[in-house]
């Protein structure tokens, strides 16, 4: 989909405040409310806007510990990759799973309560994933910054 500057202004505003009213959004992007509503609807229909979500504070949800796990599989066979991806998708503590190029196969981002909770996640879930040959875990000491907003 081709985005013009008005679309980009709308998307930047919605990435910062997804619950903004159409009237306020139209004011921020300097567009009439009806034209703004049509554009937002078009962006939703095209898939440019995939969904609206509430971003929760991990500390308030008792998930203040972020752990990144590098996983190397025993093989790159399609059936093993598919099986691994299906199984890792069932672990509720895994926030993200990325197939990687480089020295390991997958990078997981995990939300845990603390190191003991991560030990539980590791023992009950990660060690049971199919085809895992190696696993390296790194605990985030501090989140310097975090955003969900894509640069436009």
* Two domains, one topology: 5-46 and 65-139: no
The topology under which CATH files domain 5-46 is Arc Repressor Mutant, subunit A (1.10.10)
For residue range 121-147, what is the model confidence (pLDDT) as tens digits? 999 999 999 999 999 999 999 999 999
Domain boundaries, the chain: 5-46, 65-139
pLDDT recorded at residue 18:
96
CATH assignment, 65-139: 3.30.70.920
pLDDT recorded at residue 1:
83
| Cα gap 86→105, rounded to integer Å | 15
Long-range contacts of 4-7 (CB under 8 A, 24+ apart): 6/31, 6/39, 7/39, 7/43, 7/48
Interacting residues of 67 by C-beta distance below 8 A, sequence separation 6+: 109, 110, 112, 118, 137, 138, 139, 140
pTM of the model: 0.91
Q: Kindly give the parts of the chain with pLDDT less than 70.
A: none
10 Å CB burial of residue 29 (0-12, 13-18, 19+) is buried
Give the orientation angle of helix 33-46 with respect to helix 5-16, to 10 degrees.
Answer: 80
């Amino acid at each position: 989909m081709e985005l013009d500057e008005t679309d980009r202004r709308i998307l930047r505003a919605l990435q910062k405040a997804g619950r903004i009213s159409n009237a306020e959004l139209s004011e921020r992007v300097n567009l009439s409310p009806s034209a703004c509503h049509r554009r937002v609807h078009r962006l939703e229909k095209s898939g440019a806007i995939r969904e609206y979500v509430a971003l929760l504070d991990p500390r308030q949800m008792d998930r203040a510990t972020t752990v990144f796990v590098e996983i190397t599989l025993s093989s790159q066979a399609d059936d093993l990759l598919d099986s691994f991806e299906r199984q890792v998708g069932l672990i509720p503590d895994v926030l993200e799973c990325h197939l990687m190029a480089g020295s390991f196969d997958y990078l997981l981002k995990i939300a845990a309560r603390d190191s003991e909770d991560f030990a539980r996640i590791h023992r009950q879930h990660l060690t049971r994933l199919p085809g895992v040959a190696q696993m390296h875990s790194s605990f985030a000491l501090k989140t310097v910054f975090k955003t969900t907003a894509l640069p436009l």
